[in-house]
Amino acid sequence: MTKEQFDREKKYQAALAVAREMLKKGVINEADFLRIEARLAAKFQPVLGGIFC
């Protein structure tokens, strides 16, 4: 994994963790979370992100 890929992965995982916490607290619903997840994946193009889902 290159440094660029690692940086993208790190940013993706951090942003997704925030979205998961929002879902857990009821700030967003499942549909919102799935939309956020898709947009983050498109933006950051994570290498490992899909493995952990």
pLDDT digits (tens, 9 = 90+) for 1-28: 899 999 999 999 999 999 999 999 999 9
How much is the pTM? 0.85
**Tally of CB atoms within 10 A around 51:** 7
Domain residue ranges of the chain, discontinuous segments joined by +: 3-46
Q: Quick one: DSSP state of residue 26?
A: T
Task: Give the span between the Cα atoms of 25 and 45, in whole angstroms.
Answer: 27
**With 90 as the cut, is the pLDDT of residue 48 above it?**
no
